[in-house]
Amino acid sequence: MPGPTSSGGAGCLVTTEGLRPPGDATTVRVRGDQVLLTDGPFADTKEVIGGFSLVECADLDEALAVTARHPAARYGAIEIRPLSGT
């Protein structure tokens, strides 16, 4: 399959996972010393995150090149984000 697994043999794909539907989500908010739980997604939107792929790339340019070859980029949108703390 073209995409993160075929970035010139770099083998940068770490994992790909699907997510359950937004209705299965629980949203967690902490306000002061209270933990507030809400059944359902954070926001009611038309677009949802259906899954994620974690790739390890040298820099943003490599991540963009790898992502441009992902099949989902042809019919949807793929958001690229660094991990927190990196």
**Of the ranges 1-5, 22-26, 73-77, which one carries the lowest mean pLDDT score?**
1-5
pLDDT at 86: 60
* pTM (whole model) above 0.95: no
pLDDT tens digits along 46-61: 777 778 888 889 988 8
Segments making up each domain of the chain, as ranges = 4-19+45-74
Three-class HEC string of 8-25: CCCCCEEEEEECCCHHHC
Q: 85 or 55: which carries more pLDDT confidence?
A: 55
d(CA 58, CA 80): 14
